Amino acid sequence: MTEQMTKIRACSADALEVGSVLQIELEDRDPIALYRISDGYYATDDLCTHGAAFLSEGDVEDDEIYCPFHAGAFDIRTGEATAAPCVVAVRAHPVTVEGDDVYIEISN
């Protein structure tokens, strides 16, 4: 079975500075965290896999996001857990920039 993807406009490209994160709220789905780091834009599910905390409320350091709940970390590019107590990856989502707009592809 092939997974269906939907492309949504997240924000304008200038809405995020390098080293920042923005929560993208979606209808009928948990929010997504949209990041801008030195080499581009990335997106993951916003809810930490370790505790009930939004990653978009955490700190971006280089290519990692630190959860505000227990300070575990995830790789922004891949969603992989990089620091305990986090061990389960967050889902990463493809991001594209078209003109002045940033789009995230999410599965249906």
Per-residue pLDDT at 1: 54
3-state secondary structure of 52: coil
Kindly report the number of other CB atoms within 10 A of residue 41's CB atom: 20
Structure tokens at 37: 């780091």
pLDDT tens across 50-86, in order? 988 999 999 999 999 999 999 999 999 999 999 999 9
In sequence order, what are the residues at sequence separation of 6 or more whose Cβ sits closer than 8 angstroms to the Cβ of residue 1? none
The 10s digit of each residue's pLDDT in 79-95 is: 999 999 999 999 999 99
The pTM (predicted TM-score) of the whole model is 0.94
DSSP code at position 101: E
Question: Computed from CA positions of residues 73, 76, 81, 82, in that sequence, does the dihedral angle turn out positive or negative?
Answer: negative
